[in-house]
Amino acid sequence: MENTTTSIKSASETTGNTEFNILYVDDEENNLTSFRAAMRRYYNIFTAKSGAEGMEIFGQHDIHVVVTDQRMPNMTGVQFLQRIPDEPDNMRIILTGFSDMEAIIDAINTGKVYRYITKPWDKDELKMTIDNALEAVHLRRDNKHLIQELKEHNEHLEEKVKERTIEIEKQKKQLESEKSKSEALLLNILPEEIAAELKRFGKSYARRHEEASVMFADIKGFTTIAENMSPDLLVTQLDETFRGFDYITGKYGLEKIKTIGDAYMCAAGLPQNDELHAVNAVKAAIDMQQFITEFSRSKIIQDLPAFELRIGIHSGSVVSGVVGTKKFAYDIWGDTVNVASQMEQRSEAGKINISGDTYNLVKDYFVCTYRGKIPAKSKDEIDMYFVEGKK
């Protein structure tokens, strides 16, 4: 990929042809260099030192996500985002200091900014934000493509009805497509090996996992929040939140079990064994708290309620299996699940509360604060610890 000017560069030559194109605009060369170094492993990176150069890149390439600094000479980041075309769909992220917050709020309210990140940016936070933006771009473009296909289909429906042979072939393809969708849906509901077992034998066999970690995450005061929000907005907020959690659990190899209202339940160490199940569960919990903090910050400036998260984790043995005949559900049972739920209930907003059993597995990796003991129904009193951070 050739440079259009000396300051416009692409990382595709060093990473191979990646799927998504990211444009970063900043008038400081050091920032451009840092961004390329941090992100070129994951995306095609284009950089520009001004809004004018950024416009030139938009005219030559399909940019999926644009990240821009706010304070630049001649054209601010907000002004640049207001001038770039909306088609094809793209997402805009702006880097800003608190002094520019009024302009950023206006840009968010007009739909010109997807997210904002305060400077200096954190690599992991920025990458997670970009990945979420790319998912939104992908869904939007897929929806538009589907709408266009349906429109074309309706325009030629009468002709297709007359051409019986073509119609029969189309029905055959539709059946194949539905079969593929059903299989994809099954994989979305069940772990891959459980889905394969279900397709092969017509049922799935229960399993005992001697070492696993179960996590519950619950939104504090959700009932009160829900009473003051419209149904559509409420579901949208939860959907965005749980999508973020899905990404994080996938990142650390956790299995999402289910959502129960505003509670999110997942587990590490199943269906495949994982020696670091407790460590990975705590890492995922830390990322969830960081995600909900950033998510809530963006909602506050839109005058929307902020979410606060309580998380509880316990490690031990569980039994897993598939229940139901019409609507399959992969679930887990056992005292470990009950104790993990108690850990969440005894946690606090913004905190990760782990049991003594989990603490013994992660104490070499994380700084923890002892909280005392709680009674348990089926065992002796249980020690509790707050996770304060990584060692």
Q: What are the distances in angstroms from CA 288 to CA 68, 115, 197?
A: 26, 17, 32
> Which residue would you say has higher pLDDT here, 311 or 138?
311
pLDDT over threshold 50, residue 126 = yes
> Which residue would you say has higher pLDDT here, 370 or 161?
370
pLDDT over threshold 50, residue 3 = no
Written as six digits, the tokens of 57 are: 């890149």
Burial of 181: CB neighbours in 10 Å, binned 0-12, 13-18, 19+: exposed
Question: Backbone phi, then psi, for 352, in 5-degree steps?
Answer: -120, 115
> Which residue would you say has higher pLDDT here, 157 or 122?
122
pLDDT for 11: 38
- The mean pLDDT value of the chain amounts to 82
pLDDT for 257: 87
pLDDT for 7: 38
Percent of the chain whose pLDDT exceeds 90: 41
Rounded-to-integer distance, Cα 352 and Cα 215, Å: 10
pLDDT for 205: 62
- Under the banding of pLDDT at 50, 70 and 90, the label for residue 337 is very high
> Which residue would you say has higher pLDDT here, 12 or 176?
176
pLDDT over threshold 60, residue 175 = yes
**pLDDT tens digits for range 314-336:** 999 999 877 666 666 778 889 99
Rounded-to-integer distance, Cα 2 and Cα 189, Å: 44
**pLDDT tens digits for range 53-62:** 999 998 899 9
CATH of 9-130 given 3.90.76.10, 1.10.1790.20, 3.40.50.2300, 3.40.50.300: 3.40.50.2300
pTM over 0.75: no
Please compute the mean of the pLDDT values over residues 280-309 and round it to a whole number.
Answer: 87
Percent of the chain whose pLDDT exceeds 70: 81
End-to-end alpha carbon distance in the chain: 42
CATH 3.30.70.1230 in the chain, residue ranges: 203-390
Are 268 and 280 spatial neighbours (Cβ–Cβ below 8 Å)? yes
pLDDT for 17: 40
Q: What are the distances in angstroms from CA 345 to CA 246, 337, 377?
A: 22, 13, 15
pLDDT for 180: 62
Rounded-to-integer distance, Cα 70 and Cα 112, Å: 13
pLDDT for 110: 64
- Under the banding of pLDDT at 50, 70 and 90, the label for residue 105 is confident
pLDDT for 87: 74
Are 84 and 58 spatial neighbours (Cβ–Cβ below 8 Å)? yes
Please compute the mean of the pLDDT values over residues 82-94 and round it to a whole number.
Answer: 84
Q: Assign 3-class secondary structure to the chain.
A: CCCCCCCCEECHHHHCCCCCEEEEECCCHHHHHHHHHHHCCCCEEEEECCHHHHHHHHHHCCCCEEEEECCCCCCCHHHHHHHCCCCCCCEEEEEECHHHHHHHHHHHHCCCCCEEEECCCCHHHHHHHHHHHHHHHHHHHHHHHHHHHHHHHHHCHHHHHHCHHHHHHHHHHHHHHHHHHHHHHHHHHCCHHHHHHHHHHCCCCCEEEEEEEEEEEEECCHHHHHHCCCHHHHHHHHHHHHHHHHHHHHHCCCEEEEEECCEEEEEECCCCCCCCHHHHHHHHHHHHHHHHHHHHHHHHCCCCCCCCEEEEEEEEEEEEEEECCCCCEEEEECHHHHHHHHHHHCCCCCCEEEEHHHHHHHCCCEEEEEEEEECCCCCCCEEEEEEEEEC
Are 29 and 49 spatial neighbours (Cβ–Cβ below 8 Å)? yes
pLDDT for 145: 83
Burial of 277: CB neighbours in 10 Å, binned 0-12, 13-18, 19+: buried
- Under the banding of pLDDT at 50, 70 and 90, the label for residue 112 is confident
Residue environment code for 56-87, b if the CB has 16+ CB neighbours within 10 A, otherwise e: ebbeebebbbbbbbbebeebbbbebbeebeee
The rounded Cα 119 to chain-centroid distance in angstroms is 22
pLDDT over threshold 90, residue 312 = yes
CATH 3.40.50.2300 in the chain, residue ranges: 9-130
Which residues on neighbouring strands pair with residue 96, listed in sequence order? 118
pLDDT over threshold 60, residue 201 = no
- Under the banding of pLDDT at 50, 70 and 90, the label for residue 386 is very high
> Which residue would you say has higher pLDDT here, 98 or 28?
28
pLDDT for 186: 53
pLDDT for 298: 80
Of the candidate ranges 184-188, 291-295, 315-319, the one whose mean pLDDT is the lowest: 184-188
Rounded-to-integer distance, Cα 16 and Cα 1, Å: 11
CATH of 203-390 given 3.90.550.10, 3.90.1150.10, 3.40.50.150, 3.30.70.1230: 3.30.70.1230
Q: Which amino acid is at 293?
A: T
